[in-house]
Chains A and B, each alone.
Chain A
Amino acid sequence: NAGVTQTPKFQVLKTGQSMTLQCAQDMNHEYMSWYRQDPGMGLRLIHYSVGAGITDQGEVPNGYNVSRSTTEDFPLRLLSAAPSQTSVYFCASSLNTEAFFGQGTRLTVV
């Protein structure tokens, strides 16, 4: 039982590049979410999904897209990376109020 798996762990992008952060869970949770964590800001919700085929915006959705074609996978796409998107990204899958987080992806945009 791996829990929540995020890849990659580290990534450096140039401004304007696009990429996809992968997230997979094996707990059969309906609810999945993406957060970014910046110093002094805590975690902020980017997008979330309450089940396959359903996604919705969180607090800071601009510049990010998501899809949920299966229960297991919830990828986060950066369409055109900007330096302001330099952050640590966490994916989580939740059962009620208990969220299980991945190990995070440290993204730097130069």
Chain B
Amino acid sequence: GESVGLHLPTLSVQEGDNSIINCAYSNSASDYFIWYKQESGKGPQFIIDIRSNMDKRQGQRVTVLLNKTVKHLSLQIAATQPGDSAVYFCAERRSNQFYFGTGTSLTVIP
């Protein structure tokens, strides 16, 4: 079966600190890895993606790192804000299908 999982189900950080959310995957055939944010009662929202032949990609306040050697993906959020509180999912794309992890709940402490 597919295996896109997260190391920690919950994460609490102080406002202003950096957050790191981790994800492990098992299938090397995926061509893209994607991070989504889901706020309570809403559908997931795209944050950033990274192609499988890249190691790092930066967006606005976010950085995604991909380590293919150990099949590990991380999302770094700089200067975490209260509005960043949500559940974060990693996902991988393989053969026109998307496989999602189980999610990490991020709580930002004011």
Contacts and interface: CB of A to CB of B under 8 A. Distances in A.
Do A and B pair up? The answer is yes
B97 A97 contact: no
Contacts of B32: 97
B42 A103 contact: yes
Contact of A43 (B41, B45, B93, B100): B100
Chain B: interface size category:
20 to 34
Interface in B66-110: 89, 91, 93, 96-103
Interface residues of A, number: 25
Contacts of B103: 42
Contact of A104 (B4, B43, B49): B43
Contacts of A27: none
Contacts of B98: 33, 45, 99
A90 B89 CA distance: 15
Interface of B: 2, 4, 32, 34, 36, 41-46, 49, 89, 91, 93, 96-103
Interface of A: 4, 31, 33, 35, 40-45, 48, 50, 56, 58-59, 90, 92, 97-104
